[in-house]
Amino acid sequence: MLSHIHRLRALSTVEGARGLPALVEGSWRRCLETHRLLPDFARRADVLSYGELRETLDQEELLIRSATAEIDRLFRRLAADACTVSLASAQGVKLLFRCDPYHMDDLNRAGVLPGSVWAEDMQGTNGIGTCLLERRPLSIVGDEHFNRVLSDITCTVAPIFGSNGQLAGVLNISSLGRIGAQAVRLLSDVVNRSARRIETQLFQRRNSGHRLVSLSADGDFADAAALSMLALDDSGQIVDFTHDAPVMLRRAADQLPMARLDQIVEPDVVHGVWSEPMTPAEAGHLRVAAPSQTTVAISGHQPVATPGSEATLSDPRLDEILHQALDLARRQLPLMLIGETGTGKTTLALRLARLVSGDFLMLEGGAADDVTRLKLDTLRARPGFALVLDQIDEMSVPMQRSLVQVLEGAQRPLITVTSSAKDLQPELAGLRPDLVHRLNGAAFILPPLRSTPEPEKVFLRALAEEARLAGRAAPHISSEALAILCCHHWPGNLRELHFALRRAIALAGDTVTVAHLPTQLIELSETHDVLARSKAETARIETALRYHKGNVMETARYLGVSRATLYRKMQGKRSKGLTDKP
């Protein structure tokens, strides 16, 4: 039946006579028998709302930061061949999306957009959704898609794995049109190697406080796509590893957690060992000639940071918070960093942890219990480690109990990140009161970007930092582009700013102009004269009102002023079409 359906759809094509590949046939069977999709299935993909997409982007920030540079590099390489490049979450949501504007209308009709959802049970056989179930690289070519809307697209995808072999996302190259089998094979190799590079970046960011071990089957450490990795604590125990590391070491995955490296790389299988003395900034190498010809490169710890040794914080107001919080953290007082999404809470928390301790672990309440248990075991063994807590209200009750025991056993730097102090109220968040009491020390509220008295200074510092991360000198920025940045209300705060500047730097040469800024910022600026600096406050009010759909009460609360003050500022300046909604 499946091949018959396939032939009916492909009668006009050269390939109409052949059947479905086994992998695709298995997916089609799921579509018919499990997902209950009709054989003539054809509809546009669902797209998340703006609020849902912002929340998803916040949750996937680490993956996005790890993947952006590689995705931009891929797109520059493939754009001329009518290819789009995208990154999807483990739930099938498109997080990053790069395509030629010329093809946007065609993609729009199929729902191929940022925030679109491509789970197999919703959209049938497709590259992203099927990869999430198969957990391996694959291609879905033309009418192999169950959804007929996608019959002119070829999707070539590869999974990206996170901690403990869990799927973190999917990298996707889509070709707009039918391509030959040889081209599909070439694209498959390209997307698979790029996915491995993203996986390496993700691993390094996730384990920035540990000694990292690179594994190479051929001794070549130049290409991150060819590496597997381990993360070690000070005692040499393995606390994390990439999904293919057990295969590289010929060990079962359950043999690696908390094992020592010298127990995994056994002396009697090493035919020749060469190493060099390691300082914290250098690396040594072990070459294992048997049983797998694997080469191991061990990189030492980074030196304990000092306040001047890291990049400047984008908002100068955070500098003062950093110095105050650092003094208290060194006195073992628990810290709580509170602020809106994107204000830099996690960045500041990790900076503090590195400054006060050098060694730290980040514990996310939403992580699986076995991951949390592994990190808590590491904390018990290393009482000097700093601990950064995020999403604590999502931690299970058994793990809360274990965390209380760890905190009771040793004095350590402790930093909690939360959007609001109300999130940690036991009666609201389902938290143990004795845990909350141990977290409540000194609270610091990180200010939103819209309230900065020196917006231009913040933008220029952020521009310089993004240029540094991109490995280039900071570009100039035109007065028109700077005026647009000053007039925007920045609901995503510093995170939104850095994403906007990262895009601008990738597109710009020596000067960032208006054309290099995100489309949303440009569209919002068109309702006022952004060159008139004296009108900046009015412009910010207008865009904030537009963001809140004209609701004056919500806008006043967002801007941190009273409703009466906002009305006074708006007097004579209210934009056409904006109404006061109760």
- Say if residue 19's pLDDT is above 90: no
Asked if residues 237 and 378 have their Cβ atoms less than 8 Å apart, the reply is yes
Average of pLDDT values for 157-179?
87
Distance, in Å, from the CA atom of 506 to the CA atom of 512, rounded to the nearest integer, reads 10
Distance, in Å, from the CA atom of 203 to the CA atom of 31, rounded to the nearest integer, reads 34
Distance, in Å, from the CA atom of 403 to the CA atom of 142, rounded to the nearest integer, reads 51
- Say if residue 7's pLDDT is above 80: no
- Residue 278 pLDDT level (bands cut at 50, 70, 90): very low
- Say if residue 420's pLDDT is above 80: no
Out of 3.40.50.300, 3.40.50.720, 3.30.450.40, 2.40.50.140, the CATH code matching 2-204 is 3.30.450.40
Q: Tell me, what's the pLDDT at 171? A: 96
Average of pLDDT values for 66-74?
89
pLDDT 10s digits, 214-252: 877 666 666 777 788 888 877 778 888 998 888 877 788
When computed from its CA atoms, the radius of gyration of the chain, rounded to whole angstroms, is 26
Lowest mean pLDDT among 5-9, 210-214, 523-527: 5-9
Asked if residues 122 and 129 have their Cβ atoms less than 8 Å apart, the reply is yes
What DSSP letter does each residue of 76-94 carry, written as one string? HHHGGGTEEEEEEETTSBE
Distance, in Å, from the CA atom of 541 to the CA atom of 520, rounded to the nearest integer, reads 16
Q: For the chain, what is the mean pLDDT?
A: 77
**CATH architecture of the region 316-447:** 3-Layer(aba) Sandwich (3.40)
Backbone angles phi, psi at 132, to 5 degrees: -65, -30
How much of the chain, in percent, has pLDDT values that exceed 90?
15
Same fold, 207-299 and 450-570: no
Lowest mean pLDDT among 140-144, 421-425, 435-439: 421-425
- Residue 532 pLDDT level (bands cut at 50, 70, 90): very low
Strand positions, DSSP E, 192-294: 211-216, 227-232, 238-241, 283-287
Peptide bond into 291 cis (omega under 30): yes
Q: Tell me, what's the pLDDT at 222? A: 66
Q: Which CATH class is domain 207-299?
A: alpha beta
Average of pLDDT values for 430-449?
86
- Residue 287 pLDDT level (bands cut at 50, 70, 90): very low
How much of the chain, in percent, has pLDDT values that exceed 70?
77
- Residue 194 pLDDT level (bands cut at 50, 70, 90): very high
The closest of 580, 573, 498 to 537, measured between CA atoms, is 573
Q: Tell me, what's the pLDDT at 127? A: 92
- Residue 197 pLDDT level (bands cut at 50, 70, 90): very high
Q: Which helix (H) or strand (E) holds 173?
A: strand 167-176
- Domains of the chain: which residue ranges? 2-204, 207-299, 316-447, 450-570
Assigned CATH topology for domain 450-570: Helicase, Ruva Protein; domain 3 (1.10.8)
Q: Tell me, what's the pLDDT at 139? A: 92
- Residue 525 pLDDT level (bands cut at 50, 70, 90): low
Distance, in Å, from the CA atom of 157 to the CA atom of 308, rounded to the nearest integer, reads 42
Asked if residues 213 and 230 have their Cβ atoms less than 8 Å apart, the reply is yes
Distance, in Å, from the CA atom of 445 to the CA atom of 422, rounded to the nearest integer, reads 13
- Answer with the residue of higher pLDDT: 34 or 427: 34
pLDDT 10s digits, 361-413: 888 887 777 778 878 887 777 777 788 888 888 888 888 888 888 888 667 88
- Say if residue 303's pLDDT is above 70: no
Average of pLDDT values for 296-302?
47
Distance, in Å, from the CA atom of 567 to the CA atom of 487, rounded to the nearest integer, reads 19
Q: Tell me, what's the pLDDT at 10? A: 52
- Residue 501 pLDDT level (bands cut at 50, 70, 90): very high
Average of pLDDT values for 115-140?
91
- Answer with the residue of higher pLDDT: 48 or 82: 48
- Residue 581 pLDDT level (bands cut at 50, 70, 90): very low
Q: Tell me, what's the pLDDT at 290? A: 31
Distance, in Å, from the CA atom of 569 to the CA atom of 538, rounded to the nearest integer, reads 8
Distance, in Å, from the CA atom of 426 to the CA atom of 441, rounded to the nearest integer, reads 16
- In three-state form (DSSP H/G/I as H, E/B as E, the rest C), the secondary structure along 411-469 is CCCEEEEECCHHHHCHHHHCCCHHHHHHHCCEEEECCCHHHCCCHHHHHHHHHHHHHHH
- Say if residue 137's pLDDT is above 80: yes
Average of pLDDT values for 404-433?
75
- Residue 13 pLDDT level (bands cut at 50, 70, 90): very low
Asked if residues 10 and 16 have their Cβ atoms less than 8 Å apart, the reply is yes
- Residue 567 pLDDT level (bands cut at 50, 70, 90): confident
Average of pLDDT values for 448-476?
87
- Answer with the residue of higher pLDDT: 381 or 425: 381
